[in-house]
Amino acid sequence: MNPFLRAIVADPWEQHIPDVPRIHARAFEACRTALEMVRRTGATQSVLVHGEPGSGKTHLLARLRSHLAGQGASHPPQSNLPPLPPALFSGLRLRAGSRMICRHLRRAVTGDLLRRVDQGPTQLDWLLISRASRYVNKPEMSDRWWARLRLPDRAEQASEEAQDLMDRLVRDCKLPGNLATVLKLWALGRCRRAVRDWLAEGTLPEAELAALGLLPMPDEADPEEEALDLIESLSRLAGPELPLVLCFDQVEALQADSRDLEGPFAFGRMMSALHDRTQHMLLITGVQSTFLETMEQAIRTADMDRLRETLEVLEPLDAEQARLLVAERLLAAGRREDPLAPDRIEDPPREAAPSAARGPSPDPCWPIGSAAVDRFVASGATGSCTPRRLLAFCRQQYERWRTGRDAPRIPPEQTLQRQFDTAFEQALRGWNPSRSDETLSHGLPLALLLVDPSRTAARADVPEADFAVQAREGRATVIVCNDTGNRLTGRLKRLREHVQRHGGGNLVLVRDARIPVPRTARKADEHLRALAQHGVPLVRPAADAMAALDALRGLLADARSGDLTHDGQTLAEATVRDWLVANLPSSLKELLDELIPADATSGPDPLYDGLLEVVQQRHLVRASEVAEQLDCDLEQIARCLERNRDRFGVLAGPPLVIFERIEV
């Protein structure tokens, strides 16, 4: 296989990435130095790294994560656990709307804390083990004490010990009561799904909250502020022994278009809050050099100062670094293909190689050749020598050496279609209700401005709104509303009060069609109907429209951040935008048409949510049973099924049986 096929590190959690420490050594050392400063002072530090597309920003973060994973302190010989890491790591791509950026951070950080480290404990386990070591009689045995908490024959004693630990953490780290309760459940190995959901979202269904002993979030609470509060609490829990490293990538994706400054502004405010409110944290941000001007324009000077205490640039490769990178790629390929001879790459079949290449060479860059690498660096034909450009050049050279001809050219449209289809399928199969808000609040403004460049992002002057778009047809102010429980009721109540005072005008509610409004949420349903009477429509995107929107925002985020490539070259954002406009799925077009101009005649379907809730609980249910549960007749059920044929399927009877359609 061609060892130069892969030119992008998409995720800093990727394993076994060929690496040359001499490349970007200064930026890497700046991150290490800042982390040591965090350890010594306890104060949060920040580093801003910038470079050209393809310069290796995500690769640098992956190197740091790998370095941390390999620098653990040793455990006693009797321990079965891997070494304690010197820091906790979280990396996130900023694919979020400006009104949900802190919640996006919360989901990413808690998700990474629940990752397992080298098949051992999760990062959250290590965080609690590290804290527990301060309280147990034998600190060096804290990991074994932790493992005993989950032994079934010690349930009562373990619960007391876990409660004692949480009482100490509440006192010493000022942990909120709900977080302490959730961490106790995690320590005991109980209610894992509920713990994950609460850590990510800050809420659960009311019955589940009560069963776990958790208090619901107050109706008037701001979920963005709650998210920041959780990150602040985790930073206090971390301590100097195990600081938190948070890495921010694809900051460029926060913009709905090049004129939108609200996203970068919100990022600056969040980073400033993290810097001032947290302890024991290192904040690393990676951006394109060309985006610095936008950040300076959008972000307050005081906020910029907080997020770039250290500023580093990823310089182009010089000839020596380029040769080292090529040699490392070839050597890594040899290790994979021939474990018995890790220091060389096998010669391909003679008939497949040009006559000039016959067997291994002392040149570490063979079969590319050090001289060819030097000439590429010196030529500057494609601009400065970034790792991505060098790997693209070597890909062609290796293919020519291996087969005697250039690699076949694939049209960029084919690459884009493949990427879109893959993202679409992943979004359908991996759907999680908690991600619907993120998809809609981030994706809808991108799509609305994409299909009509004359539209502009506008300031949302309604407190509950996620974004606003000004168009020739009028203005649309969109409220994404996938909440449940008290949060849903409280939000709709505040919105209803606003509409009663100021009118519904250009407002439109959007709620994922797969998330029903529970039949028990009578006040929420009342508010929805009142809003519809004031001209506020409710739009329910179907699963395929949501998946298309998720794929669209992913492609645009990669393109805007310089992370989308074709044949090893960075694809221009304009190319991606043109392709998306020409290939927008019909389901997504229909959704966008419902938003501008907003259809003031559409309100909540009187039976839809109840029917959806029943079939999601029962999977297959007789129409007569549904009619009994919803207190309606079969004719009303039939009309609801006809209006929502994309959501419900029917098995012809008798008896008539209803099920939920699932996109696969």
Domain that holds residue 638: 608-660
* CA triple 131-137-139, angle to 5 deg: 45
Strand order in the sheet with 456-458: 456-458, 467-471, 474-480, 507-510, 538-539
- Reduce the DSSP state of residue 607 to 3 states and report it: coil
What's the chain's length in residues?
664
Q: Which of 466, 468, 450, 449 is nearest to 458 (CA)?
A: 468
Domain contains 4: no
Quick: pLDDT tens for 605-641.
Answer: 778 888 888 888 888 899 899 888 888 888 888 888 8
Phi, psi of 91 (to 5 degrees): -125, 135
The last residue of one of the domains, among 313, 328, 350, is: 313
Q: What is the pLDDT of residue 544?
A: 94
Those residues with Cβ within 8 angstroms of residue 29's Cβ, 6 or more apart along the chain or in another chain: none
Query: Where does the pLDDT of residue 361 fall: very low under 50, low under 70, confident under 90, or very high at 90 and above?
Result: low
User: What are the tens digits of pLDDT across the range 531-574?
Assistant: 998 889 999 999 999 999 999 999 999 999 989 888 777 889 99
Same domain? For 371 and 495 the reply is: no
Number of domains in the chain: 4
- Give the list of residues 6+ apart from residue 556 with CB closer than 8 angstroms, or none: 253, 446, 450, 573, 576, 577, 580
Rg (CA), the chain: 27
Residue 124 and residue 166 in one domain: yes
Round the average pLDDT of the chain to a whole number and report it: 87
8 A C-beta contact, residue 588 and residue 541: no
- Are residues 479 and 586 part of one domain? yes
pLDDT reading at 354 higher than 50 = no
Last residue of a domain, one of 298, 313, 328: 313
- Give the domain CATH number at 473: 3.40.1350
Residues 87 and 231 in one domain: yes
DSSP string, 648-664: EEEE-SSSPEEEE----
Q: Are residues 202 and 338 in the same domain?
A: no
DSSP helix/strand/coil, 73: strand
Q: Which of 274, 268, 279 is nearest to 303 (CA)?
A: 268
Checking if the pLDDT of 643 tops 90, the result is no
Which stretch of DSSP H or E encloses residue 224?
helix 223-238
- First vs last Cα of the chain: how many Å apart? 33
Are 48 and 187 in the same domain? yes
Mind listing the pLDDT tens digit for each residue in 287-296? Answer: 999 999 999 9
Q: What's residue 81's pLDDT?
A: 55
Local confidence band at 22 (pLDDT 50, 70, 90 cut-offs): very high
- Residue 352 DSSP symbol: G
Max Cα–Cα distance, the chain, nearest Å: 84
What the block records as the tokens of 558 is 């990669």
pTM above 0.95, yes or no: no
Q: Is residue 641 part of a domain?
A: yes
Q: Are residues 72 and 159 in the same domain?
A: yes
> Could you tell me the CATH number of the domain that includes residue 51?
3.40.50.300
pLDDT tens digit string along 48-66? Answer: 999 999 999 999 999 999 8
562-587, pLDDT tens digit by residue?
898 887 778 899 999 999 999 999 99
Question: Of 163-167, 405-409, 658-662, which range is least confident?
Answer: 405-409
Q: Do 559 and 474 lie in a common domain?
A: yes
DSSP secondary structure string for all residues of 131-147: HHTTTSS-GGGHHHHHH
- Strands 281-288 and 45-51, by their bridges, are parallel
Q: Which residue has the higher pLDDT, 600 or 530?
A: 530
Are 397 and 486 within one domain? no
Residue where a domain terminates, one of 353, 387, 403: 403
Q: Are 532 and 604 in contact (CB under 8 A)?
A: yes
Parallel/antiparallel/unpaired status of strands 88-93 and 244-249: parallel
483, pLDDT greater than 90: no
DSSP class of residue 347 equals: P
CA atoms within a 13 Å half-sphere pointing along the CA-CB vector of 220: 0
| Residue from 442, 446, 472, 468 nearest 457 by CA | 468
Give the CATH number of the domain where residue 629 resides: 1.10.10
- Is the predicted pLDDT of residue 35 greater than 50, yes or no? yes
Same domain, yes or no: 464 and 574:
yes
Q: Let me know whether 162 and 93 are in one domain.
A: yes
In angstroms, the CA 397 to CA 60 distance is 26
The predicted-structure confidence for 332-351, as pLDDT tens digits, reads as follows 877 544 333 333 333 333 33
Side chain identity, residue 664: V
The pLDDT score that the predictor gives to residue 473 is 77
